[in-house]
């Protein structure tokens, strides 16, 4: 049976895109950069994804990811690049202002809590943003602990991130731990690296083209309840 669930946060439990749209809009207002159109946001998302994938491969540092994406975005949009560092700092704060759950996310977390399942966050987000999100969503009242890459010093899927997690969960057998996340490259690959059972939250029906092992695949978080019941 599963006694412990490790949750990815962004785009698994919480709608990161909603938080991102709000945070960038607020920062554009604060830094008097005009309006960030939907088209600009789409272009930023492409740049942002590229930097996070480089981070997951160990090619760049976390700080290079956070600031570099905005420097490249600002340069491509004709915005003042010298504001990128301060923009990112404010962006991290504003990201934590919004906590919109993905469909059935709140219900599932509450259900697992009532069932006595120990729940933890495992996230590559920044300490500033994630702690505010967890507090504003109420998840900090349900989770036993949040493992945040900023505090650990390594990102998923790096085994050194999971070494810290598994050391904390030393009294729990690996086969009793289930990791749930949306990312093939950080969550599923991270679970593979750590020898953990993984559940891929794949609401859009994406193709697994990364060669990672998937133990369970779900399109709706409500399916987690049945998955847990079957293993009790």
The burial class, CB within 10 Å (0-12 / 13-18 / 19+), for 42 is exposed
Instruction: Provide the token pair at 152.
Output: 């650990």
Query: CB–CB of 178/199 below 8 Å?
Result: yes
From 8, 15, 158, 187, the catalytic residue: 8
Distance, CA of 232 to CA of 18 (rounded, Å): 35
From 10, 158, 182, 187, the catalytic residue: 10
> Does the active-site annotation cover 86?
no
Q: Output the CA torsion sign for 181, 205, 103, 26.
A: positive
> Does the active-site annotation cover 10?
yes
In DSSP notation, 144-202 reads: SEEEEHHHHS--TT-HHHHHHHHHHTTTS-GGGEEEEES-IIIIIHHHHHHT-EEEEE-
Active site residues: 8, 10
């Amino acid at each position: 049976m599963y006694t412990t669930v490790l949750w990815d946060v962004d785009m698994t439990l919480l709608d990161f895109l909603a938080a991102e749209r709000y945070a960038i809009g607020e920062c554009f207002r604060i830094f008097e950069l005009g309006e960030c159109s939907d088209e600009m946001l789409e272009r930023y998302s492409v740049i942002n994804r590229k930097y996070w994938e480089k981070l997951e491969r160990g090619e760049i540092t976390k700080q290079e990811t956070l600031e570099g994406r905005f420097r490249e975005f600002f340069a491509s949009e004709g915005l003042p690049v010298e504001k990128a560092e301060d923009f990112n700092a404010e962006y991290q704060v504003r990201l934590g202002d919004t906590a919109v759950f993905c469909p059935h996310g709140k219900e599932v977390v509450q259900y697992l809590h009532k069932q006595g399942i120990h729940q933890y966050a495992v996230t590559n987000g920044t300490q500033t943003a994630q702690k505010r999100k967890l507090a504003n969503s109420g998840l900090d009242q349900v989770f036993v602990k949040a493992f945040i890459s900023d505090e650990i010093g390594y990102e998923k899927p790096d085994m050194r991130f999971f070494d810290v997690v598994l050391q904390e969960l030393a009294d729990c057998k690996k086969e009793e731990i289930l990791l749930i996340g949306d990312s093939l490259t950080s969550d599923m690959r991270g679970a593979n690296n750590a020898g953990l059972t993984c559940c891929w939250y794949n609401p859009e029906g994406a193709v697994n083209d990364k060669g990672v092992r998937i133990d369970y695949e779900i399109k709706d978080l409500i399916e987690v309840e049945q998955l847990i019941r079957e293993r009790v």
